[in-house]
Structure 1
Amino acid sequence: MSTKRIAGPEIEKLIQLLAKVPGLGPRSARRAALHMIKKKDQLMGPLAAALAEAVDKVTECSVCGNVDTVDPCSICTDPRRDDTTLIVVEDVSDLWALERAGAMNAKYHVLGGTLSPLDGIGPDDLNIKKLVDRIAEGGVSELILAVNATVEGQTTAHYITDQLSGFEVKVTRLAHGVPVGGELDYLDEGTLSAALRSRTNF
């Protein structure tokens, strides 16, 4: 039984693309598409322009893995940042969550995920070697492992700690203010701030 097409192919394509955005299913994508179409001049035009500009200008920082319109990113080149403290996160969304909390003025390193043998993700698939190289260059006295409190996150944290065992760097992790099984991007700023302030040795 074939389903009836309720809109033109251009609108259907818009809905299909929106449905691929995390947090938007087919139903939410249809509502979002309809809202944008109704506000075409105020919303759709500026959004299309912003997306086109992002495609041209957004890039990944070659130092830390953050996304920005400059490389190295604005965090890495900020002279007010504490060069001696490095916060390791799984993803850029975690970096943004910590920045929103405003608890520390440190620099970051984005791993790009976690170790997951079941999914075929090994050390070479993450930015772990680049992290070790940054520590080997010297200057970092504390490494904060701000990974999610999941099995994969803790496995990744242990692996990184093993890789850094020969370096003179203090390795800490977030305190238990972060719930087991929790993800940084879903936590409130107060919890993140408390977790960073109460970090412990790993």
Structure 2
Amino acid sequence: MIILSKKEVDEMMKLKGNVKGVILKGHFDYIKDLKGEEGVVLVEKRLEELGYPTKAKEIIPTNWYSEALACLIVLVCAEVFNWNQEDVREMAYQSPKYSFIVKLLMQHFVDIEKSFKLAPIYWRKNFDFAKMEVGGFNKKEKYGIIKLVGFHKYHPLICEYHRAYFKKIAEIMLGQRKVEVLHSKCLFRGDDCEEFKITWK
């Protein structure tokens, strides 16, 4: 269970960096599918209470919004719906189906190796801060490493969100084969970046 304090949220919201609105819209679309319009209203109400009013219907997918706000939506969901880590991971795991950008990219990602090469380009189109790097790739040994360099320490649950998101994307690329994602480096553990090692069978 997570309980958000105004002070904690205000500090997080000071972190610079923006993301395309399609990410936020996907969050709210998932909430609506899972909890109905009532769930969306609950999240909107809590966002307003915390001082960051956001209306799902007003989000424009191609506009830029604070990444901190995108993260806050996830954290508010965890609070108001009493989610645990697994619930947050499930939200991330389902998120690709709510993104028309991901659906479009799926048409061009013909294999896992090309997917790794194109991933940093996808990042630059949707995030105006930090950078995604491929820390290693070995098709024969069936692993690849994704690094987020210059990313911020938003909240440990966001690390779990990313881990599940990368798992789902890799499964799509590999045709739903068995995929595991190790959170090999974490800013909250004192490392210099976020790093995820993706392995498959």
Shorter-chain TM-score bucket reads under 0.3
TM-score (norm 1): 0.25
Whose helix fraction is larger, Structure 1's or Structure 2's? 2
TM-score (norm 2): 0.25
Say which one has the larger Rg. 1
